[in-house]
Amino acid sequence: MIETLQPPIRGMILDMDGVLWRGNEAIGDLPAFFEHLAQAGIKVVLATNNATRDAEQYLERLAGFGLHLAPWQIVNSAEAAAFYLLQKFPKGSPVYIVGEDGLVNTLNAHGFSQAADGALAVVAGMDRGINYEKLRQASGLIRGGALFLGTNPDTTFPTPNGLIPGAGAILAAIQAASGIEPVIAGKPERAMFDLALKRLGTSPQETLVVGDRLETDIAGGQKVGCRTALVLSGVTSLEEAEKWQPAPDVIARDIMALLE
């Protein structure tokens, strides 16, 4: 299916949850899928709005599905946030982080240190340890002029027991307390896609964004000029997909169907 697209696809930006796996179950024969892409000369970056894991943790999970990728092939919203900050501030600048270890470790790896005093930015994401003191510190810094950068706007987060509040819920609380709307680093905004394209070394026209969410994966891919493929193995129904405008270039039941 994807081999009929013109100009030919040279790079692919793949979402993970709902595209490569559901819970702990792989969607299709993942090693065979990636081997087919390699033989076709298609480079791959995996992109997710989830900032609670860092690249090494994702590589470990992928290895459990029989996939062995390089660190540069993992782009999450924490990486996108660091990419955005490096375009705005000197490496080593102090930032105030509202988030979990994945976000903290990623920002630290790119030279941004956790600090309340003198913080140039507040970077916020999913934080299951959120409390009043963090909300007070973050909103106060933002009112004082610090950049408000959110990892992603997803208001909910899927778990085996159903939906729980996501990063977007944390951002909403800080926005309510500060009166300032956040800049978003993850999908559907540009930073994540620009970083993925930079790592792939491909142009938007020769890159296919594959995801299961219309409002993040497809909308974001379309915003930067990439071709898009929606898979129905995640959260979106065929009826919802057919109503989306502009329509994705491809609608498929899952990633294996992209090869048919």
Is 17 tagged catalytic?
A: yes
Are 228 and 208 within 8 A, CB to CB? yes
Annotated catalytic residue within 17, 54, 217, 249 = 17
- Ramachandran angles phi, psi of 225, nearest 5°: 90, 15
52, 83, 84: which is closest to 182 by C-alpha? 84
Q: Is the peptide bond before 188 cis (omega within 30 degrees of 0)?
A: yes
Buried b (16+ CB within 10 A) or exposed e, 125-155: bbbeebeeebbebbbebbeeebbbbbbbbbe
User: Does the bond joining 90 to the residue before it have cis omega, within 30 degrees of 0?
Assistant: no
Note whether 178 and 138 are within 8 A (CB): yes
Nearest to 182 by CA among 125, 129, 220: 125
CA dihedral defined by 165, 166, 168, 171, rounded to 10 degrees?
Answer: 80
Catalytic residue among 15, 154, 212, 217: 15
Task: Quickly count: other Cβ atoms within 10 Å of residue 194's Cβ.
Answer: 16
Q: Other C-beta atoms within 10 Å of 219: how many?
A: 18
Between CA 140 and CA 178 the distance in angstroms is 7
Catalytic site positions? 15, 17
